[in-house]
Chains A and B, each alone.
Chain A
Amino acid sequence: QLQLQESGPGLVKPSETLSLTCTVSGGSISSSSYYWGWIRQPPGKGLEWIGSIYYSGSTYYNPSLKSRVTISVDTSKNQFSLKLSSVTAADTAVYYCARLDSTTLDAFDIWGQGTMVTVSS
């Protein structure tokens, strides 16, 4: 059964770069049927899509975050990663990675458990 696991620092200083990795287990990140995405949720607030990536490296970003976001994929490690630069307290959130089934469901069907990232000095 496919699983996703986020990893990375839980505390990031303001103005620095937030870096997270999502490890995919139980399946291949290189499948042509899926995209891979990052979604975040500030405490007590709703979900916000950050961006998505295909195994080939094609990326799609939320326009409101595009200038600060980089999503990359490492097929050899079955991982994809998120970098968010120049962070502020507003970037404090639970960060989820998720699989987007682009064939049948056309939706985020498998999610990681999420990782809390706090931006504070």
Chain B
Amino acid sequence: SYELTQPPSVSVSPGQTARITCSGDALPKQYAYWYQQKPGQAPVLVIYKDSERPSGIPERFSGSSSGTTVTLTISGVQAEDEADYYCQSADSSGTYRDVVFGGGTKLTVL
């Protein structure tokens, strides 16, 4: 089955830049999406279609794609950004079918 691979954890000091990667063989052909999840809360979409930011998401969140890897970048990290981040993509055409999530990355703000 198709897999998306994320590092288990990333640590960064406040004000610095955090980069969280997600790797998968189908990523050159399929968009990636990023969700932020804080403890006890439902996930929140922070990036869609590789690099687009939904309304209400701070500009410090950005996404990029290169080959089989997509990256979520958080510039000027704030304490409130400490959370788990999940990438998501699809194994075939259409996000409504064959949805896959990465294993998640815990972002720690030191």
Contact = CB atoms under 8 A, between A and B. Distances in A.
Contacts of B54: 105, 109
A47 B104 contact: yes
Given A47-B43, A105-B45, A105-B54, A37 B99 contact: yes
B86 A100 contact: no
Interface stretch (A8-16, A24-32, A73-81, A111-119): A111-119
Interface string B36-48: 0100001111001
B1 to A, nearest CB: 6
B20 to A, nearest CB: 14
Interface string A94-117: 001000101001111101111000
Contacts, number: 69
Chain A binding surface SS class: strand
Chain B: number of interface residues, binned into ranges: 20 to 34
Interface string A25-67: 0000000000101010000001111001010000010111000
B42 A112 contact: yes
Interface residues of A, number: 25
Interface string B72-110: 000000000000001010000011111111111000000
B1 A63 contact: yes
B102 A60 contact: no
Contacts of B95: 100, 102, 106-107
A32 B25 CA distance: 31
Contact of A107 (B48, B94, B98, B102): B48
A62 B1 CA distance: 10
Contacts of B29: none
Contacts of B45: 105, 107-109
Contacts of A60: 96-99
Contact of A113 (B37, B42, B44, B94): B42
Interface of A: 35, 37, 39, 46-49, 52, 54, 60, 62-64, 96, 100, 102, 105-109, 111-114
